[in-house]
Amino acid sequence: MEKVCLKQGAVYRFTISKPLSFSAIISIDNLAFPISLGGSRIYSYASKEEAYTDATRLSKSMSLKAACAKLPIGGAKGVILCDPKYKNREFLEAYATCVHSLEGKFYTGEDINMSPSDVDMLLEFSPYFLGASKQQSRYGMPAKATALGVVSALKSAVNSKLQKNDLKSLKVAIQGLGSVGLHLAKHLAQAGCQVYGTDIDVFRVQQALKEVEMTIVGPDQWCRLDVDVLSPCAIGGTINNQTIPLMKASIIVGSANNQLENEVRDARSLHQRDILYCPDFIASAGGIINVYAQLTGYDRSEVMKKIDMIGETLRDVVHRTKQTKRSIIEVAQKMAHEYSEKALEAGMSIPVSNQKGNL
């Protein structure tokens, strides 16, 4: 293992040679917190540098999510540089060894190409995994909680921008029909929204049409639609200097991490076009709220209260932004950092209910 120290955190690099040769990177954004949370993804990165950048950006995003949700934990991310088709028991055991070597500083679970059934297997080798299939039957899927958080943020954004108290008749275009995107589509359809959806995966599109009444559009048409809301729920960086000029929507709120390709440039462009952008680390905090509760003693009513508060958090950020000349991203990040500092100064402890992972 190679440790690279950052300003507040650290990046751990692992090289596995047997039974399958692959590399893994675990980024912990702030080591001052005793525990950090974040998913682990398996992805065929073009280079180790790209994987490193992804891990560090995502761990920072997870820290911001935790802070905006007022959770006394840090953010982290695990990335495994490998084609997911090679995933097997020995592969997962090797990664579990990497996670276990950090001795509980990093709790992790499902993400891209990492499923609840994979977590079942990982728990056989290390207690520091969350979101196993048996846990989800008890606590619910993180994806569902994330979707509910996006709905909470969307209601708040619609109220602030469009002065509407409900979502009925709203036109919403969802990019990405994976777990979160599909659950979001279901909630919006039930609320009376006109839902548009797109995904590069044909199977996901077919599955979505079986479960939700929506209009499917091409991946390159998503940002051009004459809708009220754009909801990025796939990869990051899709809000950029090429897509922003094409947008007709007045609100952007979704679950994808790092939606803005360039935070400073793109936040400014959205503001100039009078488009309300909900920072992704606020809107998508439902998942980390749900997973954190698994560590501390799960209380569903408390989880739902925290998820409902996502809308209040956004309302507060929008209000603060109107009083300053800063972008909504800057205001939200400042608020997150203020909470993190208070949590550390107060010495907030995390009453981990089960250190063996058998939640």
CA–CA separation, 122 and 100 (whole Å): 10
User: Pairing between strand 10-16 and 2-5?
Assistant: antiparallel
Mean residue pLDDT across the chain: 91
Identify the band that residue 357 occupies on the pLDDT scale cut at 50, 70 and 90: very low
The residue among 300, 340, 332 whose CA lies nearest residue 156 is 332
User: Within 10 Å of residue 227's Cβ, how many Cβ atoms?
Assistant: 23
Q: Tens digit of pLDDT for each residue in 118-143?
A: 999 999 999 999 988 876 666 667 88
Q: Degrees (nearest 5) of the Cα angle 109, 115, 118?
A: 80
With a cut of 50, say whether residue 78 has pLDDT above it.
yes
The mean pLDDT of 30-36, rounded to a whole number, is 93
Angle separating helix axes 328-345 and 263-272, nearest 10 degrees: 130
Lowest mean pLDDT among 129-133, 215-219, 304-308, 328-332: 129-133
The mean pLDDT of 172-182, rounded to a whole number, is 95
Residues whose CB is less than 8 angstroms from the CB of residue 141 and which lie 6 or more positions away in sequence, other chains included: 116, 179, 183
AA identity, residue 11: V
With a cut of 60, say whether residue 17 has pLDDT above it.
yes
Q: Which two tokens stand for residue 189?
A: 């359809």
The residue among 127, 11, 64 whose CA lies nearest residue 313 is 64
pLDDT attached to residue 137: 60
The partner residues of 23 in beta bridges, in order of sequence, read 15, 81
pLDDT attached to residue 358: 34
Task: Please report which residue ranges of 212-327 form alpha helices under DSSP H.
Answer: 263-272, 280-283, 286-296, 300-322
Q: Are 183 and 147 in contact (CB under 8 A)?
A: yes
Residue-range domains of the chain with CATH: 2-63+73-138 (3.40.50.10860), 142-341 (3.40.50.720)
Helix (H, G, I), strand (E, B) or coil at 309: helix
AA identity, residue 161: K
Give CA 179 to chain center in angstroms: 12
Q: Degrees (nearest 5) of the Cα angle 336, 341, 343?
A: 95
CA–CA separation, 100 and 125 (whole Å): 8
Identify the band that residue 348 occupies on the pLDDT scale cut at 50, 70 and 90: low
pLDDT attached to residue 355: 41
pLDDT attached to residue 251: 98
With a cut of 70, say whether residue 248 has pLDDT above it.
yes
Which of the pair, 114 or 132, is modelled with greater confidence?
Answer: 114
The mean pLDDT of 289-305, rounded to a whole number, is 89
Q: Tens digit of pLDDT for each residue in 222-242?
A: 999 999 999 999 988 999 999
Identify the band that residue 350 occupies on the pLDDT scale cut at 50, 70 and 90: low
Supply the pTM of this predicted model.
0.89
The mean pLDDT of 273-290, rounded to a whole number, is 95
With a cut of 50, say whether residue 164 has pLDDT above it.
yes
With a cut of 70, say whether residue 54 has pLDDT above it.
yes
The mean pLDDT of 57-68, rounded to a whole number, is 93
pLDDT attached to residue 20: 73
pLDDT attached to residue 356: 43
The mean pLDDT of 89-94, rounded to a whole number, is 92
pLDDT attached to residue 174: 98
Identify the band that residue 10 occupies on the pLDDT scale cut at 50, 70 and 90: very high
Q: What is the dihedral of CA 193, 194, 199, 201, to 10 degrees?
A: 90
Active site amino acids:
77
pLDDT attached to residue 296: 84
Lowest mean pLDDT among 42-56, 124-138, 164-178: 124-138
- The torsion angles phi and psi of 251, rounded to 5 degrees, stand at -140, 140
Q: Degrees (nearest 5) of the Cα angle 87, 80, 290?
A: 95
Give, as one character, the DSSP assignment of residue 114. B
Give, as one character, the DSSP assignment of residue 105. S
Q: Tens digit of pLDDT for each residue in 196-232?
A: 999 999 999 999 999 999 999 999 999 999 999 999 9
